[in-house]
Amino acid sequence: MYSPSRPMRRRIILHMYGNNLYLQILLRETIYTTSCFVMSDSEDEYPSLIASGELVALKNFRIRGIHDVKDSSMIDTKRYHILDRGVWYAINVFTMDDAGKSMHASLVEVKDKGENKTIFPVNNDSDSIDIDFDDDTITIMRVNIETKGICTRSVAYTMKALLHYINNKNHFAPKGMVSIVSKNPIRAFNCYRRAFKLNGYEMNDGEYEEFEKKYYDAVVTDKVDEVWKKNFEHGFDQFVNYEQKRMWQGAQNDKEQVKLYAGLKF
């Protein structure tokens, strides 16, 4: 029995039902019902995102070790080692300024424990994941990954290490930001949204609707069954982590109490 390929099935959907239904299938249904462990990078074909299951917490997250990086030129550099399903993640986190208010996390290595094989970085000149913290906001700064299928966990664990680091210094990040600049915006969007979700951040519905409309307009212009010839760009700056917000507010209240008591005369 003939079974059409996935690209052909997409063209059939487009031909029979038009762009609008196709976009609903592609965006609204798949984005909100995907499992974080079904990686959007696992397929090269255009949407590369149709999956099912509930978005789950980082229940397998375990920090296996944290140690000082002695040869670092940065302030208070820590190396985090995280093991998940037989894969090691090594992340460096450090403080960027003398005031101790800006911090940074970089993914150093992803290694398959069973095969003793490095799967990140593959290309030392381009592969990188960098996440910054400043004031009250975590920002995904750069994500370049040549290896397929590791985006969500790699970004999520880099973010988790940074959150652990800043929280230990009594800093908190209730806000999250990322700017998508990609020729495969669906893949990038889902990687980043899942990584934020896995760390307790919720996306603003209005920002999602704005992204959906902008993406739809771009699809109509560039034609959905063609390779993107230019980068799609869109920013998100309203991710919210309510647990971090609660701790941030508590820290602010403590600071106000300290100021109050400092001004009292006994």
* Local mean pLDDT, 10-residue blocks, the chain (266 residues): 46 48 46 32 32 43 84 90 91 92 96 92 90 96 91 94 95 96 87 92 91 80 58 92 94 68 55
pLDDT score of 246: 95
Is the Cβ–Cβ distance between 232 and 218 less than 8 Å?
A: yes
| Domain residue limits, the chain | 6-263
- Residue 109 DSSP SS3: strand
Q: Which two tokens stand for residue 195?
A: 């990584």
pLDDT score of 58: 52
Write down the H helix ranges in 93-184.
151-168
pLDDT score of 38: 29
**Residue 84 β-bridge partners:** 87
pLDDT score of 35: 29
pLDDT score of 54: 34
Residue type, 167: N
